[in-house]
Every structure is written in C-alpha cells, then in structure tokens.
Amino acid sequence: MKLSLHAPRLCVMVLLFVVHAFAHDVGLSTATIEPRDGSVNVALTFSAKDIDQLVALDGDSDGRITPAEFAAQQGKVAQALTNGCYLVCGENRLCAKSVACELNQTNNVAIQLVFANPASNTFAISFPVIRDLAAGHRMFVSEIGSDHKAIVEQLISRESPDVQLIKTDAGRGGAEPETAHSFTSFVWLGVEHIGTGYDHLLFLFGLLLVARSLKSSLAVISSFTLAHSITLAASTLNLVALPSSITEPAIAASIVYVGVENLLRGGEPRGRCLLTFAFGLIHGFGFASVLRDMGVGAGGSVVLPLFSFNLGVELGQMTIAAIMLPIIWQLRTSEAFTRRLIPACCVAIIAAGGWWFCGRVWGI
C-alpha cells in the first residue's frame, strides 16, 4: 500500500465528518396512544427539524426554529398532523376531532390528537405522515392500558405505518408488548445511529489514530464501551439524567480535546483509557438522550428501548473499528504518514469538533 495513493483518501474521509456535521439525527418520533371511555387520545412528539420537513418553520433560514416562528405556522402544523394521522375502524377512516400542538422546551413539537371512541374493540391508527419525512424515519408507538402499563410497544416506519390496537376494560390487561420485534428494531436503530453519528465516530477515530498496538486499541474501545454501559444503567434507573443541551456541546468539546492532545503530546498519550472512559460517559448520555428527549418509554418500559438501542450502538461501533484499524495500521508503516498526515488529521479533528461546539452552543 502506497501512502501517495491512500493518504489523500483518509484526509477526505476526515473532511467528510465536517460536511455532515449534523447528519447523525436518527429520525425518531414517538406516539403514545391511550384509549379512554369516550375517546382515543394520541400524544405525538417530533423534533422541530422533522416538522420543518412538513411545514416550513425556519422563516429566516438561520437553522434555528424559534417559538415565534413556530407560532406563525402552528395552524399549518396542526392541519398537517390531522391529515397525516387517522384512526381506522373497519372500513371507516376517522380524523381527529381536536388537535393541539406546541413547541416545548427541548425544541420538540408535542401534538395532542383526540379521536372519537371507535365502535369496535379492535382498531388501527395509521401514521402516513412518516412517508413525508426523511427516509429511515422511525416512530416508537406505545398503547397504554387503563392500568397505565404498555400493552403494545413497537417501531413503525414508512413501509408499515399502521398499528393494530386493542381497546381494554378497566383493570384488564391487553396483549403482551411486541418485545421481540421492538428489540430487533431498536438494535438496528442503534446501528444506524452510530453509523451516521459522525461526531461519535470522529472521537473514536481520533483515539485510534495514535494507538500503537492492538492491545492499546482494544483497551480504548473497551473503555468506551464500559462507559456507555454505566451511562445506560444510570439513565435507565433514572439515577442521572443530562439534557442534550449539555451533552451535545460536551461531546464536541471531547473531540477538540482529543485532537489537541494528539498534537501536543505526539504519539499515544499516557492515560488514554481513563480519558476515553470519562468522555465515554458523556457520549453515552448523548446516545441515551436520543430516546429520552423524545419521550421513548415514558408511558411504558424504558429498559428495552435503551438497552437494545445501546446494544446496536456497540455492535455498530465494533464493526466500524474492525474496518478502521487495519487501514490505520497499514498507513502507520509509512514515516510520512506518522510525521505529516497524523498532525493534519488532528487539525481536521479539532476543526470539526470546534464547528460542532459552536453550532450546538450558539447555533452558528
């Protein structure tokens, strides 16, 4: 392998991280369905960026959606969700009899739909609105019974936007949650998230770029994985919760730190596993916040979504590392790569992390 042929490709890969700065959004929304005596209530949560695909919210095109911009288009948002979500009972299609929506403090759009009580005990709710969102968008749907426990939990997509539901009596449980389907779906969602989570991948790339051996590389990856697991447990048990407004800038700052440390110390810095573990906790909160900020599990069990999503993240991370490491090790056989290209890559890492940090703190 010649450095002259492959080194430029590595630089291009690093620069692509900068171009796709905010591309790690997995496209996730939630729907909580609660049949009552006289109605069926549906609570939806979308990110403001997803709603912007349905109705243009960002009036000044500055990349930020303000409460005033949302208020100006609130009626159109309500209409879009009324048309894109309806109840199906037999041959009849029922639209919501009332709808309310607001932009909440986490910059998500919360929608409340109220449907007339269906005549049958079995019915479906269709969410064709998913088809108007980005490819790969998922919606986590929960049906909550009268005992406030989840009867159905599953992920739906544009290929299958319908959910079959059961109306239950007070004190009587319904069907068991679709555990196997939800587990597989959230595992795959985690794989997709890390596969397009350019900030997390760039952090890992910065760590492995200066790792000198398989042993040190595995130690770094293991530290990162262990930190994720601890964060997951803390989040699942509601022991610690950090909002994305804190975790996202902190993740960007961790990338800058790794790039600077690589440049100043040269080679593989001492104590890298401890550093990886500390920053891995923050990155783990970032993974968990993808689900938490959207309210996944708020009406049912949060353990299955969080654990299976995190498992998918780890599987994806290990796969990417298995591809990345042989390439880095082969390039390290060239003195020119070690002396010139590694510092150049570190500068690109610092630039990308700085760009993310500014965007997440000041919306630049």
Using the 3D structure, point to which of 149, 178, 207 is the last residue of a domain: 178
Q: Is residue 276 part of a domain?
A: yes
Q: Which of 121, 122, 141 is nearest to 130 (CA)?
A: 141
Q: Is residue 319 part of a domain?
A: yes
Phi, psi at residue 22, to the nearest 5°? -115, 30
> What is the pLDDT, as a whole number, of residue 88?
92
Q: Is residue 78 part of a domain?
A: yes
Q: Is residue 284 part of a domain?
A: yes
**Average pLDDT, consecutive stretches of 10 residues, N- to C-terminus, the chain (364 residues):** 46 44 63 87 92 92 87 96 93 92 89 90 91 89 79 84 73 48 81 85 92 89 90 78 87 96 85 94 85 63 77 89 88 84 93 93 76
Phi, psi at residue 202, to the nearest 5°? -70, -35
> What is the pLDDT, as a whole number, of residue 268?
80
> What is the pLDDT, as a whole number, of residue 152?
76
Show the domain range for 7: 3-24+196-362
Phi, psi at residue 285, to the nearest 5°? -65, -35
> What is the pLDDT, as a whole number, of residue 180?
55
> What is the pLDDT, as a whole number, of residue 20?
44
pTM (two decimals): 0.75
Pair 171, 312 in one domain: no
Domain count, the chain: 2
